[in-house]
Amino acid sequence: MTSLNLEQYSDFVFGVTSDASKNMAALSDHVLTVATQTNVNLPLLLTGAMGLCGEAGEFSEVVKKVFFHGKSLDEATLVHLKKELSDVIWYWTNACRAIGVTPQEVIDANVEKLSARYPGGFSTFLSENRIAGDI
């Protein structure tokens, strides 16, 4: 493949971007289509998805500063981490509600998935060599 300068790369990126990602009318049409095909609470789903990413990023930022910037892992930092996790769970709970499941159902599904994946406990081999259909 040919090397692209930044302007060429920008044009390339725009060309491989979906219409719904770059055009308000296409996005609106798609949202309405999805809304009529499902009982999912789309505003809560969007809030949950974006909020989870943002808050997980804030949590990671604090951890990064501890390990790479010399920030102390003191009581104040632990309180900060706890507050960021409380925001994560707030958005996670809204995401559960958006798709019509309870937080307990999600926890149960996670236990079931991981118990099947790691029947004797974690192993690197099993984490890298999953059976078909294991997501």
pLDDT tens per residue, range 27-75: 999 999 999 999 999 999 999 999 999 999 999 999 999 999 999 999 9
Burial environment of residue 76 by CB neighbours within 10 A (0 to 12, 13 to 18, 19 or more):
exposed
- Non-local (6+) Cβ contacts of 44 within 8 A are 94, 95, 97, 98
Instruction: Give whole-number Cα distances, 128 to 27, 87, 117, in Å.
Output: 37, 31, 11
pTM score of the predicted model: 0.85
Of residues 1 and 34, the one with the higher pLDDT is 34
Average pLDDT over residues 97-119: 97
Instruction: Round to whole Å and give the CA distance between 25 and 45.
Output: 20
Please check the confidence at residue 2 and state whether its pLDDT lies above 90.
no
Q: Taking the domains of the chain in order of start, what are their residue ranges?
A: 7-37, 41-101, 102-135
